[in-house]
Amino acid sequence: MKEYESLSHVRWECKYHIVWVPKYRRKTLYGQVRRRFGEITRDLCRQKGIELVEGHAMPDHVHLCLSIPPKYSISYVVGYLKRKSAIRLHQDFSNKMRGSKSFWARGYFVNTVGLDENQVRQYIRHQESTENRQMEFDFENK
């Protein structure tokens, strides 16, 4: 039998595939900023008891697979991660970031992960190579 997580009055398994982008879809997540974003995300998830199942930051968007306890709404978690990561990135890289602390664009994509968890994790893990193949295909067709 599958092992589920548990809280005081509930047994649960709530996994979500989440994607969001930097403001104006700028290609800002690379090098030190990308590494620091990973550290920040792991730390924020740990603080809230959220399991970061899989994650990958591309230069212009972020893919996460999170296991979120049912005591938190998905909008609360995404807002928390975007808000806190933007503040910390701005503190660490204020010399590289222009303007205000609004780093992320409004909105996000979310999809529940059910029985196809392995497919979603594999998709996130190989996102970069998939995107590169699509770009090569697009250039060949033009």
Residue type present at position 73: S
Q: What is the CATH number of the domain that holds 101?
A: 3.30.70.1290
Q: What are phi and psi of 4, to 5 degrees?
A: -105, 160
Stated pTM of the model: 0.80
User: Which of 77-81, 90-94, 100-104 holds the top average pLDDT?
Assistant: 77-81
Q: What is the mean pLDDT of residues 96-118?
A: 81
Q: What is the total count of domains within the chain?
A: 1
Per the CB < 8 A criterion, the answer to whether 66 and 77 are in contact is yes
Q: 45: domain range? A: 5-141
Beta bridge partners of 10: 7
Catalytic residue numbers, as ranges: 123
Per the CB < 8 A criterion, the answer to whether 64 and 54 are in contact is yes
Tell me how far apart the alpha carbons of residues 78 and 46 are, in angstroms, rounded to a whole number. Answer: 14
Of the pLDDT bands very low, low, confident and very high (cuts 50, 70, 90), residue 84 is very high
Of the pLDDT bands very low, low, confident and very high (cuts 50, 70, 90), residue 124 is confident
Q: Is the pLDDT of residue 137 over 50?
A: no
pLDDT in tens, 42-74: 999 999 999 999 999 999 999 999 999 999 999
- The dihedral sign for the CA sequence 23, 43, 93, 84: positive
- Nearest 10 degrees: CA dihedral of 60, 65, 68, 70? 100
Q: What is the pLDDT of residue 12?
A: 87
